[in-house]
Amino acid sequence: MASSELHIISTGKQPIEKLAEIATEIQEYVDFFHLREKQMSALQLYQAVNILTEKNIPLSKIIINDRVDVAWTMKTFGVQLAFHSLDSGVVKQAFPGIRVGSSIHSVNEAKEVSEKGVDYAIYGHVFPTNSKLDLPPKGIEGLKEITGSTSMPIIAIGGIKPSNCSFVLEAGAKGIAVMSGVLEAEDPLQAVKEYSKALGKRV
């Protein structure tokens, strides 16, 4: 995975048609769109991927959260596994060639999934965020510890704004993941351009 990637993760609150509308507008500046829709069935996720591709979002930019079956069937970029998902080693063995990401929260988890062949990991939350008010942020030092413990690419998530992107990249993250910062912004296109600029991308 290239450095300074921008991952946009669906909020689970927007109709998929609204997500597709925003994705079409911003996709030029986005490396990956994660469908993180816990309330959706496999069939609904399958339909959601079709809606995105009908809006010219390439399958190579779509990552499915948790549902390996949908990711494999639709030939999306890959699957993002959580703590409740199938074991990453099992997925790698059963679905050879599929790109697998894992959500991690500690050095031990980073080492464990890396040994199982996971392609990248999402780590957080780095900064305070409204979606995790009951949990203290890991902070930049926590992120540095993670990136220093593995050669696996680490994508940082949680409270990341254009103004603090530089701290995250300096800590060794290969990119960032954003949810509401773009998808719930008054002007998603302007927001994504600000993130892109902060990540050193051309705008």
What pLDDT does residue 172 have?
A: 97
What pLDDT does residue 14 have?
A: 96
The answer on pLDDT for 1 being more than 80 is no
pLDDT band of residue 130 (cuts 50, 70, 90) is: confident
* pLDDT tens sequence across 147-160: 999 999 999 999 99
The answer on pLDDT for 182 being more than 90 is yes
Instruction: Find the catalytic residue in 34, 84, 105, 125.
Output: 125
What pLDDT does residue 135 have?
A: 84
CA distance 45 to 103: 20
Query: Domain locations in the chain?
Result: 5-198
CA atoms within 13 A on the CB side of 73: 11
CATH tag, 5-198: 3.20.20.70
The predicted model scores a pTM of: 0.96
What pLDDT does residue 2 have?
A: 54
Cα–Cα separations (whole angstroms), residue 133 to 4, 53, 127 = 27, 34, 11
Phi, psi of 158 (to 5 degrees): 105, 105
The answer on pLDDT for 144 being more than 80 is yes
* pLDDT tens sequence across 19-56: 999 999 999 999 999 999 999 999 999 999 999 999 99
User: What's the mean pLDDT in 183-189?
Assistant: 97
The answer on pLDDT for 10 being more than 70 is yes
What are the counts of helices (DSSP H) followed by strands (DSSP E) for the chain? 9, 8
The answer on pLDDT for 3 being more than 60 is no
Q: Which amino acid is at 34?
A: H
The answer to whether 57 touches 23, Cβ cutoff 8 Å, is: yes
Active site residue 84: no
* pLDDT tens sequence across 72-123: 999 999 999 999 999 999 999 999 989 999 999 999 999 999 999 999 999 9
